[in-house]
Amino acid sequence: MERNEATLSAGENIDKGRISPEVSATVARPSRIKRIQTVAMLMLFFAAVINYLDRSSLSVANLTIREELGLSATEIGALLSIFSLAYGFAQLPCGALLDRKGPRIMLGLGMFFWSLFQAAAGMVHTFAQFALVRIGLGIGEAPMNPCGVKVINDWFNIKDRGMPMGIFNAASTIGMAISPPILAAMMLMMGWRGMFITIGLFGIALSIGWYMIYRDRGSFALTTEEEKYLNEGSVASKKEPMSFKEWRSLFKNKTMWGMMLGFSGINYTAWLYLAWLPGYLQTTYNLNLASTGMYAAIPFLFGAAGMLSNGFVTDAMVRRGMNPIKSRKICIAIGMFCSAAFTAVVAQADSTGMAVVLIGMALFCIHFAGTSCWGLIHVAVPSRMTASVGSIQNFASFLFASIAPIATGWILDTTKSFNLALAICSGVTVLGAFAYIFLVRSPIKDSDI
């Protein structure tokens, strides 16, 4: 009872706009918790890198696969969109299962199966076969981001979550950054089929390692000191898992809809560049495969820097007494508006170097904002529903973002240019920022559902 009252008091202080002095003060981090955090973050980092190597493989092999299988830009866009649709729909059951079964089982199984389908992509010969493999890949990858959010929420105090969230998100962008040169080199050495099979085998090995090493918070007998560190300042929460009725009630919550619509603007931009950046550089600036791999890596390094810098900024703002929700919203709005501005002028670049810098700044800003979007879940949602809220947010955003690859492919086939696609992306980002500003006003509480 004493711990629940302290937690509720902290939640009330968050609602009023500032954190209380007791909560904003440094909470001692027990040594065993530090070790668990280190191991968990290292494994999440490598899982996220592998995850985005898999996601980037089709984009890097875009033109080669089109030539060998006789596919159009629209069909490649459809394959990219099929993945995101499958991934989006799989988010709904994934979140509910994750809150009940935990990250050890869900990420272990998910990584194993997505890696199997990734390896299978190296054996396809038709568009229909490729489509089935992409569906399996999307379903398998669904637990990745919600599991990361859940692990960080379980093992870090509320005021310490900005940096690990930045590291976790940065790992995905580092995966995007290193994938073009690495995958291009693998293609030159073993062909696109060998590339798919090899990175699939790496993922299978990592999935086994995750299941053998990681343990969920519920499997530990925590000391009073450890409980105090993990719980102090968090949004008040019941202990029992969410019921299906409570899960459905999330769709009636205004803050939930703000997260769903706003994050759609983030993901549309991120997915457009992930899916089409190598193809854009090859088509617009007539680069060969090796040069494309090197140039395409640079903007994603900008994105990783945006994620890491967000962790520093949000943690500093909260430690100085700012409302955790307000700190995230400020970062989200600034990041999204700036990203939209940079995307709007990409088409005006008169050289490959200038285009890479502008796209890099667009990705820096969108991933700076996106890291705060995930961080918002940590400070605005009770711990027992973080995976469910994260998965619903991801579900909505990927349904919307799945339009970007196929729409861009169709625009390219029709207009022979990416200009219209970039203009649409800029507008979508601005609309997403407004959703966060006007709809996300208060935490989601147990009493709200």
pLDDT range class, residue 211, cuts 50, 70, 90: very high
Q: Is the pLDDT of residue 380 over 80?
A: yes
**Average pLDDT in the 83-101 region?**
82
Query: Which residue(s) pair with 18 in the sheet?
Result: 322
Per-residue pLDDT at 18 exceeds 80: no
> What phi-psi label fits residue 70: left (phi over 0), alpha (psi between -120 and 50 degrees) or beta?
left
Contact 401, 268 (CB under 8 A): yes
Mean pLDDT of 251-265: 93
Tokens at residue 397, please? 């955003």
- The larger pLDDT score, comparing residue 448 to residue 85, is at 85
Mean pLDDT of the 411-438 span: 91
Where residue 239 falls among pLDDT bands split at 50, 70, 90?
Answer: low
Tens of pLDDT along 405-414? 778 878 888 8
Q: What is the per-residue pLDDT for 233?
A: 64
> 278 versus 437: which is more confidently predicted?
437
User: Is a pLDDT exceeding 80 seen at residue 107?
Assistant: yes
pLDDT of residue 343: 96
What is the chain's mean pLDDT, rounded?
Answer: 83
Mean pLDDT across the stretch 248-256?
Answer: 91
Counting residues of the chain whose pLDDT is more than 90, the rounded percentage is 29
- Could you give the domains of the chain? 31-217+246-443 (1.20.1250.20)
For residue 109, is pLDDT > 70? yes
Cα 181 to Cα 24: distance, rounded to the nearest angstrom: 43
Distance between CA atoms of residues 431 and 148, nearest Å: 27
Tokens standing for 26? 């440094």
pLDDT at 2 over 50: no
Of residues 86 and 11, more confidence is placed in 86
* HEC-encoded secondary structure of the chain: CHHHHHHHHHHHHHHHCECCHHHHCCCCCCHHHHHHHHHHHHHHHHHHHHHHHHHHHHHHCHHHHHHHHCCCHHHHHHHHHHHHHHHHHHHHHHHHHHHHHCHHHHHHHHHHHHHHHHHHHHHCCCHHHHHHHHHHHHHHHCCHHHHHHHHHHHHCCHHHCHHHHHHHHHHHHHHHHHHHHHHHHHHHHHHHHHHHHHHHHHHHHHHHHHHHHCCCHHHCCCCHHHHHHHHCCCCCCCCCCCCHHHHHHHHHCHHHHHHHHHHHHHHHHHHHHHHHHHHHHHHHHCCCHHHHHHHHHHHHHHHHHHHHHHHHHHHHHHHCCECHHHHHHHHHHHHHHHHHHHHHHHHHCCCHHHHHHHHHHHHHHHHHHHHHHHHHHHHHCCHHHHHHHHHHHHHHHHHHHCHHHHHHHHHHHHHCCCHHHHHHHHHHHHHHHHHHHHHCCCCCCHHHC
Instruction: Provide the whole-model pTM.
Output: 0.69
Percent of the chain scoring above 70 in pLDDT: 91
Angle at alpha carbon of residue 186, lines to 184 and 187, rounded to 5°: 65
**More confident call, 240 vs 243:** 243
Lowest mean pLDDT among 103-117, 139-153, 255-269: 139-153
